[in-house]
Amino acid sequence: MTVRNAMSVDVEDWFCVYVLSEAIKREDWDRCELRIQESTRRMLDLLGKRNTRATFFVLGYVAERLPELVRDIEARGHEIATHGYGHRLLTKMTPEEFEGDLAKSLEVLRSAGVKQQIIGYRAPSFTIVKQTTWALDILRRHGIRYDSSVFPIGFHPDYGMPAAPLAPYEIAEGLREFPMSVAEVFGRRLPCSGGAYFRVFPLAYFRYCIRKINRDGRPVVFYLHPWEVDPGQPRVKVPLSRRFRQYHNLHKTQKRLDSLLGTFQFTTIREVLGL
């Protein structure tokens, strides 16, 4: 039996990324070049070519400036979910600030003309972690039925819940969690969800890990950002490790994604979870 996996896109522009936040302050965003319209449509065309629907976690800041882009995503048959409004990490917000950010993002998406009910959320930089589980009740209050933010690994400095389950589970009453995918190999948890990992590790590694997860009876959730298919984006002076995470292999991402879409079956998170 073929396992259907979930494809997701975190819709944020190149200057919204956390690894660049020390160089590009939030108050500077409005002065940065908007490149996300073209890069998102490049991804939409690729998904259309492969007859694949995906979940788009849209940043409220982007939806406010490009409502027609959000309407286009929905018109092409994809799921719209929220990535919050201002891409602030939950670890740097109070519960009150988080609730305001979430409510604003949902209102902006509705004002943009989204017709479907928004039931999905992904935290910036996967910051649903042990110390931010207070966010779960807030998500439920605002009609969110699933989260896809928990990364069940323990080595990353910014995120991770190393003891979290690997398969989708109920993280709180009435709220499903679709954790970021990792493969268990010889007792170790290896990330294979996408993002920078997809640009750093060989494509063969992802094929192996996804097949193993599917053989174990679990669906994979995969993610990318539109800026990852935009090798022409401006280069920002940041420390070497951050520069590597942001820019490595950008010119290869689109071709690799096309190959992955041709190898495995993907659909929306909502559909995989049966919501």
Report pLDDT digits (tens) over 227-246: 999 999 999 999 999 999 99
Q: Note the pLDDT of residue 160.
A: 85
DSSP state at residue 18 = G
Give the model confidence (pLDDT) of 48-62 as tens digits.
999 999 999 999 999
Type of residue found at 81:
A
CATH class of 5-273: alpha beta
Q: Are 127 and 159 in contact (CB under 8 A)?
A: yes
Give the other-Cβ count within 10 Å of 168's Cβ.
20
Backbone angles phi, psi at 28, to 5 degrees: -95, -10
Instruction: Spell out the alpha helix ranges (H) of the chain.
Output: 36-49, 60-65, 67-75, 95-111, 135-141, 196-200, 203-215, 240-247, 253-263, 269-273
pTM of the model: 0.96
Q: Which two tokens stand for residue 29?
A: 């965003």
Q: Which two tokens stand for residue 192?
A: 């294979």
Is residue 1 pLDDT above 70, yes or no? no
Is residue 159 pLDDT above 90, yes or no? no
Calpha distance 157→168 (Å, rounded): 24
| CA end-to-end span of the chain | 21
Closest CA to 258 of 15, 52, 81: 52
For the segment 80-108, the average pLDDT, to the nearest whole number, is 98
Angle CA(129)–CA(82)–CA(136) in degrees, nearest 5? 35
Q: Are 233 and 32 in contact (CB under 8 A)?
A: no
